[in-house]
Amino acid sequence: MQQTIFAHRGASHQFAEHTRAAYLQALAEGADGVECDVHMTRDEELVCIHDSTLDRTSNGTGDVADHTLRELRDLDFSSWKGAGIPVEFGGVADQFLSLGDLLRLLLSAGREVLLAIELKHPSPYGLKLEEKLVTFLMQQGWDPESSTLANVSISFMSFNPDSVKHLLEKVPAHTVCQLVSDVRPAELRAELHLGVLTAAAVIGLLRRALNDGEQNIDSHAAGMAGPGLDYVVAHPARVARWIAEGIRLRVWTVDEPDDVELMRSLGVHEITTNRPAFVRAQLTRSTPGS
């Protein structure tokens, strides 16, 4: 089996995630596809950013949903990484991408490219995010039956089981990936600085969402399963059953040699990585006869 390689937020090991440079580098490294996270701005534009806030990956602050697209374009989303940007990848002001910008970049790739779009929740827009995405793609000329737009084949992902169920009403099931990750109470309490009672409520909601997400996969409602690497290691029997039942697996985020070999040995179909060229080289080395 030849695994399909997705560049996680672009070639984000080298350049700042979700930037023009990261995606152009991913294409240059021969990634089969790229992955992006999508939020909606105050003026209801779809933009490529992982966090619901700006603080970690830009010189701005506050919620993405409280800013317009124009305001976001004025921010610096690349300098925090400390990597120099080649001239052919644009300047600092060119790095922030709307979903439309990313689509145009992929449409000009000169080859077939896969695009995996993750819809981020919780969102202040609720399931309007999914509606906006489908409407936007239709306006661009996307074919919902084949889920293609010229040379770009599009799939959809979410951790939110309600988002997945809503997408299943709008797009082909084989293009929908239910993401899953274990709930780790201690890490959540530390990361979010939650009190005991608040943490218990949040953890309860996340566990219910995980159970519902696993059900979306177990029932074959979603066409793909998207477990994190830690989930694969923690639940080998469940993962093996999914593979045996013919469910396509897209595992994230796989960057180290031992983890690449684990994916190959398990028969995982799709690998999401920050280091696409490195992972391709590792897979080639581990393939008999290569």
Q: What is the CATH number of the domain that holds 235?
A: 3.20.20.190
What's the pLDDT tens digit per position in 50-92? 999 999 999 999 999 999 999 999 999 999 999 899 999 999 9
pLDDT band at 111; cut points 50, 70, 90: very high
Contact 3, 249 (CB under 8 A): no
Structural domain that includes position 226: 4-286
> Is the pLDDT score of 39 beyond 80?
yes
Q: Average pLDDT, stretch 151-157?
A: 99
Domain count, the chain: 1
> In 18-118, which residue ranges form alpha helices assigned H by DSSP?
20-28, 69-73, 99-107
50 a catalytic residue: yes
Selected catalytic residue, list 50, 67, 166, 269: 50
What does pTM read for this prediction?
Answer: 0.95
Pick the residue with more confidence: 245 or 205? 245
pLDDT band for 202, please (50, 70, 90 cuts). Answer: confident
Angle between helices 276-286 and 257-266 (to 10 degrees): 60
Q: Can you tell me the distance from the alpha carbon of 227 to that of 178, in angstroms, rounded to the nearest whole number?
A: 8
Which pLDDT belongs to residue 205? 85
- Higher local confidence (pLDDT), 267 or 186: 267
